[in-house]
Amino acid sequence: MTVTDPRKIKSSFDLPRHVGIIMDGNGRWAAARSLPRLEGHRRGVESVRRAVRAAGDLGISYLTLYAFSSENWSRPPQEVDDLMGLLKHFIRIDLADLHKKNVRVRIIGSRDDLALDLKGLLQEAEAVTRDNTGLALIIAFNYGARQEIADAVREIALRVSRGEIDPLTIDATTISEHLYTADIPDPDLIIRTSGEQRLSNFLMWQAAYAELVFLPLHWPDFDQVALEDALRQYSSRDRRFGGLATTQSAMTGS
Ligand code: IPE
Ligand code: IPE
Ligand code: MG
Protein backbone atom coordinates (compact mmCIF):
# COMPACT_ATOMS: atom_id res chain seq x y z
CA MET A 1 0.00 0.00 0.00
CA THR A 2 1.17 3.50 -0.68
CA VAL A 3 0.80 6.59 1.44
CA THR A 4 -2.23 8.61 0.43
CA ASP A 5 -2.11 12.32 -0.21
CA PRO A 6 -3.22 13.79 3.17
CA ARG A 7 -5.63 16.20 1.43
CA LYS A 8 -7.46 13.26 -0.16
CA ILE A 9 -7.64 11.46 3.18
CA LYS A 10 -9.09 14.54 4.84
CA SER A 11 -11.93 14.78 2.37
CA SER A 12 -12.67 11.07 1.94
CA PHE A 13 -12.69 9.99 5.60
CA ASP A 14 -14.96 10.48 8.52
CA LEU A 15 -11.99 11.51 10.68
CA PRO A 16 -11.85 10.83 14.40
CA ARG A 17 -11.20 13.94 16.44
CA HIS A 18 -9.30 12.06 19.12
CA VAL A 19 -7.17 8.97 18.49
CA GLY A 20 -5.60 6.98 21.33
CA ILE A 21 -2.82 4.50 20.63
CA ILE A 22 -1.67 1.63 22.83
CA MET A 23 1.87 1.36 21.51
CA ASP A 24 2.56 -2.34 22.03
CA GLY A 25 5.01 -4.94 20.74
CA ASN A 26 8.41 -3.26 21.08
CA GLY A 27 9.82 -6.25 22.99
CA ARG A 28 8.51 -8.81 20.53
CA TRP A 29 9.75 -6.76 17.59
CA ALA A 30 13.24 -6.84 19.13
CA ALA A 31 13.08 -10.52 20.11
CA ALA A 32 12.15 -11.48 16.54
CA ARG A 33 15.42 -9.85 15.46
CA SER A 34 17.51 -11.21 18.34
CA LEU A 35 17.96 -7.65 19.58
CA PRO A 36 17.71 -6.42 23.17
CA ARG A 37 14.26 -5.11 24.20
CA LEU A 38 15.76 -1.64 24.55
CA GLU A 39 16.36 -1.58 20.80
CA GLY A 40 12.65 -2.21 20.27
CA HIS A 41 11.80 0.70 22.56
CA ARG A 42 14.31 2.92 20.74
CA ARG A 43 12.73 2.09 17.41
CA GLY A 44 9.38 2.73 19.07
CA VAL A 45 10.40 6.36 19.57
CA GLU A 46 10.84 6.64 15.79
CA SER A 47 7.27 5.39 15.42
CA VAL A 48 6.11 8.05 17.89
CA ARG A 49 7.64 10.68 15.62
CA ARG A 50 5.95 9.15 12.57
CA ALA A 51 2.60 8.96 14.38
CA VAL A 52 2.75 12.60 15.48
CA ARG A 53 3.66 13.76 11.98
CA ALA A 54 0.95 11.66 10.31
CA ALA A 55 -1.74 12.63 12.83
CA GLY A 56 -0.93 16.31 12.32
CA ASP A 57 -0.88 15.97 8.52
CA LEU A 58 -4.20 14.12 8.46
CA GLY A 59 -5.94 16.72 10.58
CA ILE A 60 -6.49 14.76 13.79
CA SER A 61 -6.95 17.16 16.73
CA TYR A 62 -5.98 14.98 19.71
CA LEU A 63 -3.50 12.11 19.79
CA THR A 64 -3.01 10.22 23.05
CA LEU A 65 -0.07 7.82 23.22
CA TYR A 66 0.14 5.19 25.97
CA ALA A 67 3.84 5.17 26.81
CA PHE A 68 4.08 3.70 30.32
CA SER A 69 1.33 2.11 32.40
CA SER A 70 0.96 2.10 36.18
CA GLU A 71 1.58 -1.65 35.91
CA ASN A 72 4.79 -1.32 33.87
CA TRP A 73 6.70 -0.74 37.14
CA SER A 74 6.55 -4.52 37.52
CA ARG A 75 9.10 -4.92 34.71
CA PRO A 76 12.81 -5.44 35.51
CA PRO A 77 14.31 -2.24 37.00
CA GLN A 78 16.68 -1.86 34.04
CA GLU A 79 13.80 -1.80 31.55
CA VAL A 80 11.86 0.68 33.71
CA ASP A 81 14.98 2.85 33.76
CA ASP A 82 15.37 2.55 29.99
CA LEU A 83 11.75 3.63 29.40
CA MET A 84 12.14 6.65 31.71
CA GLY A 85 15.39 7.50 29.93
CA LEU A 86 13.74 7.32 26.51
CA LEU A 87 10.97 9.72 27.52
CA LYS A 88 13.57 12.18 28.83
CA HIS A 89 15.57 11.78 25.63
CA PHE A 90 12.46 12.29 23.50
CA ILE A 91 11.51 15.52 25.26
CA ARG A 92 15.06 16.88 25.19
CA ILE A 93 15.51 16.14 21.49
CA ASP A 94 12.01 16.75 20.15
CA LEU A 95 10.48 19.53 22.25
CA ALA A 96 11.79 22.39 20.10
CA ASP A 97 10.56 20.71 16.92
CA LEU A 98 7.14 19.93 18.40
CA HIS A 99 6.85 23.54 19.49
CA LYS A 100 7.82 24.73 16.02
CA LYS A 101 5.07 22.51 14.58
CA ASN A 102 2.54 24.19 16.89
CA VAL A 103 1.97 20.92 18.83
CA ARG A 104 0.58 21.27 22.35
CA VAL A 105 2.05 18.64 24.68
CA ARG A 106 0.14 17.30 27.67
CA ILE A 107 1.10 14.51 30.02
CA ILE A 108 -1.51 12.45 31.87
CA GLY A 109 -0.77 10.00 34.66
CA SER A 110 0.67 10.19 38.15
CA ARG A 111 3.89 12.16 38.59
CA ASP A 112 4.33 11.12 42.24
CA ASP A 113 6.83 8.31 41.65
CA LEU A 114 8.82 9.97 38.87
CA ALA A 115 12.37 11.29 39.26
CA LEU A 116 12.77 15.04 39.77
CA ASP A 117 14.53 15.66 36.46
CA LEU A 118 11.80 13.83 34.55
CA LYS A 119 9.09 15.77 36.38
CA GLY A 120 10.91 18.98 35.45
CA LEU A 121 11.04 18.00 31.78
CA LEU A 122 7.36 17.09 31.68
CA GLN A 123 6.49 20.43 33.22
CA GLU A 124 8.73 22.22 30.74
CA ALA A 125 7.17 20.44 27.75
CA GLU A 126 3.70 21.47 28.89
CA ALA A 127 4.70 25.04 29.75
CA VAL A 128 6.59 25.71 26.51
CA THR A 129 3.76 24.44 24.29
CA ARG A 130 0.71 25.45 26.33
CA ASP A 131 -0.49 28.17 23.92
CA ASN A 132 0.01 26.11 20.78
CA THR A 133 -3.11 25.56 18.71
CA GLY A 134 -2.16 22.61 16.48
CA LEU A 135 -2.26 18.92 17.31
CA ALA A 136 -2.74 18.16 21.01
CA LEU A 137 -0.24 15.41 21.84
CA ILE A 138 -1.19 13.72 25.09
CA ILE A 139 1.37 11.34 26.53
CA ALA A 140 -0.03 8.82 29.01
CA PHE A 141 2.93 8.11 31.26
CA ASN A 142 2.71 6.29 34.58
CA TYR A 143 -0.95 6.22 33.65
CA GLY A 144 -3.65 3.79 34.79
CA ALA A 145 -7.37 4.29 34.25
CA ARG A 146 -8.31 2.72 37.58
CA GLN A 147 -5.87 4.97 39.43
CA GLU A 148 -7.22 7.97 37.50
CA ILE A 149 -10.80 7.11 38.48
CA ALA A 150 -9.75 6.54 42.11
CA ASP A 151 -8.03 9.96 42.11
CA ALA A 152 -11.19 11.56 40.71
CA VAL A 153 -13.41 9.88 43.31
CA ARG A 154 -11.07 10.99 46.12
CA GLU A 155 -11.13 14.57 44.86
CA ILE A 156 -14.91 14.54 44.55
CA ALA A 157 -15.24 13.11 48.09
CA LEU A 158 -12.95 15.87 49.43
CA ARG A 159 -15.04 18.51 47.69
CA VAL A 160 -18.22 16.98 49.12
CA SER A 161 -16.67 17.09 52.60
CA ARG A 162 -15.88 20.78 52.09
CA GLY A 163 -19.47 21.43 51.04
CA GLU A 164 -18.47 22.35 47.46
CA ILE A 165 -20.40 19.52 45.81
CA ASP A 166 -23.87 18.25 46.69
CA PRO A 167 -23.53 14.43 46.57
CA LEU A 168 -27.01 14.15 45.06
CA THR A 169 -25.84 16.04 41.96
CA ILE A 170 -22.96 13.65 41.21
CA ASP A 171 -23.35 12.13 37.77
CA ALA A 172 -21.16 10.87 34.92
CA THR A 173 -20.20 14.44 33.98
CA THR A 174 -18.93 15.08 37.51
CA ILE A 175 -16.61 12.08 37.17
CA SER A 176 -15.44 13.14 33.68
CA GLU A 177 -14.67 16.63 34.94
CA HIS A 178 -12.38 15.24 37.65
CA LEU A 179 -10.32 12.98 35.39
CA TYR A 180 -6.86 13.98 34.08
CA THR A 181 -8.60 14.42 30.72
CA ALA A 182 -11.24 16.87 32.00
CA ASP A 183 -10.86 19.29 29.09
CA ILE A 184 -10.13 16.70 26.39
CA PRO A 185 -12.91 15.08 24.32
CA ASP A 186 -13.34 11.32 24.67
CA PRO A 187 -11.32 9.22 22.21
CA ASP A 188 -13.25 8.26 19.08
CA LEU A 189 -10.76 5.61 18.03
CA ILE A 190 -8.33 3.49 20.03
CA ILE A 191 -5.65 1.64 18.11
CA ARG A 192 -3.54 -1.13 19.63
CA THR A 193 -0.60 -2.60 17.81
CA SER A 194 0.99 -6.05 18.31
CA GLY A 195 -2.22 -8.03 17.86
CA GLU A 196 -3.16 -7.99 21.56
CA GLN A 197 -6.84 -7.22 22.01
CA ARG A 198 -7.24 -5.55 25.39
CA LEU A 199 -7.20 -2.09 26.94
CA SER A 200 -4.58 -2.77 29.65
CA ASN A 201 -5.97 0.01 31.89
CA PHE A 202 -5.96 2.69 29.15
CA LEU A 203 -8.67 5.40 29.19
CA MET A 204 -11.29 2.94 30.42
CA TRP A 205 -13.83 5.60 31.38
CA GLN A 206 -13.26 7.77 28.32
CA ALA A 207 -13.29 4.82 25.89
CA ALA A 208 -16.90 3.88 26.70
CA TYR A 209 -17.92 4.48 23.05
CA ALA A 210 -14.55 4.46 21.31
CA GLU A 211 -14.11 2.28 18.25
CA LEU A 212 -11.32 -0.25 18.80
CA VAL A 213 -8.91 -1.21 16.04
CA PHE A 214 -6.27 -3.87 16.57
CA LEU A 215 -3.39 -3.83 14.13
CA PRO A 216 -1.34 -6.97 13.51
CA LEU A 217 2.03 -5.16 13.49
CA HIS A 218 4.42 -4.28 16.27
CA TRP A 219 4.80 -0.67 17.32
CA PRO A 220 8.27 -0.15 15.75
CA ASP A 221 6.69 -0.97 12.38
CA PHE A 222 3.90 1.60 12.76
CA ASP A 223 3.77 4.28 10.06
CA GLN A 224 1.37 6.52 8.17
CA VAL A 225 0.08 3.58 6.11
CA ALA A 226 -0.83 1.74 9.32
CA LEU A 227 -2.58 4.83 10.67
CA GLU A 228 -4.52 5.20 7.43
CA ASP A 229 -5.52 1.54 7.63
CA ALA A 230 -6.91 2.13 11.15
CA LEU A 231 -8.69 5.31 10.00
CA ARG A 232 -10.26 3.44 7.10
CA GLN A 233 -11.55 0.77 9.48
CA TYR A 234 -12.87 3.51 11.75
CA SER A 235 -14.69 5.28 8.95
CA SER A 236 -16.50 2.08 7.98
CA ARG A 237 -17.89 1.56 11.49
CA ASP A 238 -21.44 2.53 12.41
CA ARG A 239 -21.28 4.41 15.71
CA ARG A 240 -24.66 4.12 17.37
CA PHE A 241 -24.04 5.28 20.96
CA GLY A 242 -26.94 3.14 22.10
CA GLY A 243 -29.27 4.58 19.47
CA LEU A 244 -30.19 3.20 16.06
CA ALA A 245 -28.09 2.99 12.93
CA THR A 246 -28.57 5.88 10.51
CA THR A 247 -30.46 3.65 8.04
CA GLN A 248 -32.69 2.22 10.79
CA SER A 249 -33.63 5.64 12.13
CA ALA A 250 -34.42 6.74 8.55
CA MET A 251 -36.78 3.75 8.22
CA THR A 252 -38.60 4.58 11.44
CA GLY A 253 -38.70 8.22 10.46
CA SER A 254 -36.86 9.42 13.56
C1 IPE B 1 5.29 -1.48 24.39
O2 IPE B 1 6.02 -2.60 24.06
C3 IPE B 1 6.03 -0.50 25.25
C4 IPE B 1 5.60 -0.46 26.64
C5 IPE B 1 4.65 -1.18 27.19
C6 IPE B 1 6.28 0.48 27.49
P7 IPE B 1 6.26 -3.80 25.06
O8 IPE B 1 7.49 -3.52 25.86
O9 IPE B 1 5.04 -4.07 25.89
O10 IPE B 1 6.52 -4.98 24.06
P11 IPE B 1 6.01 -6.46 24.17
O12 IPE B 1 4.54 -6.42 24.41
O13 IPE B 1 6.75 -7.10 25.30
O14 IPE B 1 6.36 -7.06 22.85
C1 IPE C 1 0.21 -1.59 27.63
O2 IPE C 1 1.12 -2.53 27.16
C3 IPE C 1 0.94 -0.39 28.16
C4 IPE C 1 1.61 0.44 27.18
C5 IPE C 1 1.58 0.28 25.90
C6 IPE C 1 2.35 1.55 27.72
P7 IPE C 1 1.62 -3.74 28.05
O8 IPE C 1 2.52 -4.54 27.21
O9 IPE C 1 2.15 -3.25 29.34
O10 IPE C 1 0.25 -4.50 28.36
P11 IPE C 1 -0.03 -6.02 28.73
O12 IPE C 1 0.82 -6.34 29.91
O13 IPE C 1 0.34 -6.84 27.54
O14 IPE C 1 -1.50 -6.07 29.01
MG1 MG D 1 3.45 -5.28 25.68
Separation of alpha carbons 156 and 169, rounded Å: 11
| Distance in Å, CA 24 to ligand 3 centroid | 5
Residue-by-residue pLDDT tens, the chain, 254 positions: 455 555 555 555 689 999 999 999 999 999 999 999 999 999 999 999 999 999 999 999 999 999 999 999 999 999 999 999 999 999 999 999 999 999 999 999 999 999 999 999 999 999 999 999 999 999 999 999 999 999 999 999 999 999 999 999 999 999 999 999 999 999 999 999 999 999 999 999 999 999 999 999 999 999 999 999 999 999 999 999 999 987 666 665 54
Q: DSSP class of residue 129? A: H
Q: What residue owns the CA closest to ligand 2's atom 8?
A: 24
CATH number for 22-149+189-234: choose from 3.40.50.720, 2.60.120.10, 3.40.1180.10, 3.40.50.300: 3.40.1180.10
pLDDT digits (tens, 9 = 90+) for 182-205: 999 999 999 999 999 999 999 999
Helix (H, G, I), strand (E, B) or coil at 137: strand
Among 22, 24, 143, which is best to mutate for testing ligand 2, by the most ligand atoms less than 8 A from CB? 24
Nearest ligand (C-alpha, residue 69): 2
What are the residue ranges of helices labelled H in 195-245?
A: 224-235
User: Is ligand 2 within 6 A of the CB of residue 23?
Assistant: yes
Contact between residue 128 and residue 51 where contact means Cβ atoms under 8 Å apart: no
Alpha-helical regions (H) of the chain: 6-12, 26-31, 37-58, 77-100, 116-129, 145-161, 172-177, 224-235, 246-251
Domain boundaries along the sequence of the chain? 22-149+189-234
Strand order through the sheet with 18-22: 104-108, 136-143, 62-69, 18-22, 189-192, 211-214
- CB of 72 within 6 A of ligand 2: the answer is yes
* Separation of alpha carbons 159 and 153, rounded Å: 10
